[in-house]
Amino acid sequence: MIKPHGSDVLNPLFVRDEKQRNVLIKEAELLPSVMISSAAAANAVMLGSGYFNPLPGYMNLEDALQVAENMQTSGGLFWPVPILNLLDSAEGLSESGRLALRDPNVEGNPVLAIQEIDAIETMTENQKTRITEKVFGTLDPEHPGVGAFLSQGRVVVSGPIQVLNFSYFKADFGETFRTAYQIRQKIETAGWEKVVAFQTRNPMHRAHEELCKMAKEAVGADGILIHMLLGKLKAGDIPADVRDASIRKMVELYFPPNTVLITGYGFDMLYAGPREAVLHAIFRQNCGCTHLIVGRDHAGVGSYYGPFDAQKIFRDQVPPGALGIDIFEADHTAWSKKLNRVVMMNSVSDHSKEDWVFLSGTKVREMLSNGESLPEEFSRPEVAEILGQYYRSLAGA
């Protein structure tokens, strides 16, 4: 199986020994505690799950700046996005102490993790601006990732963490949420050597379905990991439980048995386009995948990024050998009326706009809300029905 990023073995930061975990939970009651941001909580879940291997915890200011500028830590580890615990204030905190991190997303705000404080530093406005610009490629506060990052404080609390639970993800998505460690176990048990990963924050339509099948065949993969984001999204995106149900129905009916793992991960979407695509590659490598599908507008939002910038970054900015995972570059896929099937648009040269079945996201939502059927060339009817039920429930609310 492919090695994790930056180490020979995966090192998830969740305390798996129940006895040790219970001791730490009791200790946390006596420690100073802070309510962390949703972004920092998601980082803790990803660290606990092994997705952010080999990071031992939250980065310090120097590492964050180096990662933003050069995509590597001050120690030379290749990494595309700062992993931070940003607070509004350092009041009551002392360096070299231990800190209980409280979860903002769970009722009662239980302790999510315990952090060893290595340093407490204050990021200047200029430094925060620079990080924002380099990671997101824009300073526009209307960009959802930029808005979320700028809303966090400037106090950088760095140091290793011990993760005590997986926030709301395990309780709310028990059938779907899996750690990188668990996925590696599944892949090993299945005997898969080559695995292609598909990232999604949306329901999957015919084009996505066929893209997964095309990629599997092209790279000679044994299986596919359909890996959906379960954390916070921007307003208007479809909730994770609806996406989950529609994807499971599609796989059940239209993929050969025992060729797909349907799982999810606990992270808040950054919408950081190219930089987030590289992060996606790292944590799919940590899952044991050998290939990641990177398509048009991967991890993007609006018109902040070029349609294939997320592919270009791997060619132009990722140093050779920095990653163990390979990228499957995919063009936009759509139903060809001429060929009567889904194809990558760059694979045919004799098509005009009228030869394709296109539906905008707005048009899809409008049709579903009105109880209209989506064209079978665009969406499997069983998937459309699940999505239609959701949109009709919104209309009736």
Catalytically active residues are 201-202
Backbone CA torsion sign across 332, 336, 341, 343: negative
With left for phi above 0 and alpha for psi between -120 and 50, is residue 6 left, alpha or beta? left
SS3 156: strand
Cα dihedral 83, 226, 174, 2, rounded to 10, equals -60
Rounded Cα distance, 180 and 358, in Å: 35
DSSP string spanning 297-361?
TTT--TTSS-TTHHHHHHHHTSPTTS-SSEEEE---EEEETTTTEEEEGGG-SS--GGGEE---H
Q: How many CB atoms lie within 10 A of CB 339?
A: 12
222: which DSSP letter?
Answer: S
CA 266 and chain centroid, separation: 8
Rounded Cα distance, 178 and 166, in Å: 10
Rounded Cα distance, 110 and 25, in Å: 10
- For helices 309-316 and 274-287, the axis angle rounded to 10 degrees is 70
Is residue 200 within 8 Å of 208, Cβ to Cβ? yes
The Cβ-side half-sphere exposure at 367, using a 13 Å CA radius, reads 15
Q: Which position has the token pair 């993760």?
A: 163
Q: Output the six-digit token pair for 90.
A: 């350092």
Describe the chain by its helix, strand, coil percentages, rounded to 5.
40, 20, 45
Residue type, 49: S
* Distance in Å from the first CA to the final CA of the chain: 48
